[in-house]
Structure 1
Amino acid sequence: MHCQPDYKRKVYIWLKNAQPCLICDEATDSANCVCNVCETELPWLLEHCEVCALPLPMEGLICGQCQKHPPAFKQVIAPWTYSFPIDSLISRFKHQARWPLGQMLARLLAQHLQHRLDNSELTRPECLLPVPMARQRLRERGYNQALMLARWLSTDLNIPYDAQLLLRPHETVAQQALDAKTRKRNLLGAFALAPDAQVQGRHLALVDDVLTTGATAHSLARLLMQAGARQVDVYCLARTPKPGS
């Protein structure tokens, strides 16, 4: 007895159909849903600080801020600068629930990370940790974009993620409108570890959409390092340039 229906006509295979590029809307057969031209013309982050990924004029440098006040994380990995069209794509993903845009960016970030892992430029973390969102803001938005990115990266890189290890028990003012000093004060006591968090001796990677001053990443990395983590890296989609540059 055969369970498969006896159907001999051609079946339309959607996966082999050209999809529109999510940036320019031209047809593309790329699995990433972005055409080669648009991918090439994205604002790729080239010369940058070896620690915080701040755009710099030369390679192999560490910015003055990281030299004076070394952050708790070891390094930031970001493929792009936060400029057009990346800024628009992230904003639409983050604030308008355009999830296909977020998945496209996450897939490209995963390819960027995998290339560096394959070339031994990076060591593979044991777990991905999305930056947590306060409950009230999560209720208002309906989703945590950092958690979505961590899930997609976890699938593409075959690295587990843990959305419960880091907590944000206290509401804070939105960081976007604050300067660097105010951001640091705003985050004092904002984060905590889950009671059963396993951190000792582990290499962990924080996941977020954009790194601006690095205050959030530093606060979380410091919390993890104080709990015994061996190393904390930061994976994000984009790094903002220095104000005024």
Structure 2
Amino acid sequence: MCDERTDTPLPLCAACELELPWLGDRCERCALPLPMAGLTCGLCIKHPPAYESVYAPWVYGFPVDSLIIRFKHNSRWPYGRLLADILGQSLRDRFNTGDPQPDCLLQVPLSTQRLRQRGYNQAAMLAQWLSRDLGIPFHDDWLLRHQDTAAQQALDAKARKRNLLHAFSLAPQVDVRGLHLALVDDVLT
């Protein structure tokens, strides 16, 4: 990020890695930033989500936001690979301290139209890289997208929920009972 040379295995110096907008204390369930560790936010207590937990290493701020945008919209795949490498190391640290490792990774599928426009699914690329780095199987055909929905970034929270209703399903032959699944996407809103 600073254009200085680095001796680290990543193409990012230690100082720049420390300057990333790391998400600190957060809700144990949804990763909403909170003032102290070990808490669950009021919304997750009142309306528990269908998932167990979210792991988001960073707040969507500079420079992570620009790296994601360049990766997602400008086909700058090295930026996505860098983010996957740092995320993978962060997840490895969590697994080494007792967090359970998932049985497999799934990506958020793009609609056929959006995949045709973009030419690739950035969430699938992240999941593939993480799969290789962490040794966790990746199944790119387990989730199906049935609807082409409006872009999430232009919608408020209620509209985002409505926008995705009935948009996804499991492939008919897939049985996930008893499996710990991790859903990979590039941005969490």
Matched, 1:141 2:84: no
Distance 2:147 2:188 in 1: 21
Distance 2:118 2:39 in 1: 38
Deviation of residue 178 (structure 1)?
0.6
- Find the counterpart in structure 1 of residue 96 from structure 2: 118
SS at match of 2:24: coil
- Find the counterpart in structure 2 of residue 44 from structure 1: 22
Structure 2 length-normalised TM: 0.97
- Find the counterpart in structure 1 of residue 132 from structure 2: 155
Match of 2:158 among 143, 166, 181: 181
Structure with higher strand content: 1
- Find the counterpart in structure 1 of residue 186 from structure 2: 209
SS at match of 1:33: coil
SS at match of 2:32: coil
Distance 2:16 2:180 in 1: 34
Deviation digits for residues 109-137 of structure 1 (CA, Å, limit 9, x no counterpart): 011111110111x1111100011111100
Deviation of residue 29 (structure 1)?
2.4
Runs of 4+ in structure 1 over 3 Å off: none
- Find the counterpart in structure 2 of residue 57 from structure 1: 35
Deviation of residue 198 (structure 1)?
2.4
Q: How many residues align?
A: 189
Deviation of residue 169 (structure 1)?
1.7
Give matches, 1:1-245, under 5 Å: 23-120=1-98, 122-212=99-189
Bigger shift: residues 23-32 or 45-54: 23-32
Distance 2:17 2:61 in 1: 14
Q: State the identity %.
A: 62
> Over the residues paired in the alignment, what is the CA RMSD in angstroms?
0.9
Higher RCO (CA-CA < 8 Å; seq separation 6+): 1
Deviation digits for residues 201-222 of structure 1 (CA, Å, limit 9, x no counterpart): 111100011111xxxxxxxxxx
Give the letter for the 1:98 counterpart: R
Distance 2:2 2:86 in 1: 17
In structure 2, runs of 5+ residues without a counterpart are: none
SS at match of 1:38: helix
Deviation of residue 187 (structure 1)?
1.1
SS at match of 2:54: strand
Distance 2:33 2:188 in 1: 12
Deviation digits for residues 77-111 of structure 1 (CA, Å, limit 9, x no counterpart): 11111111111111111111111111011011011
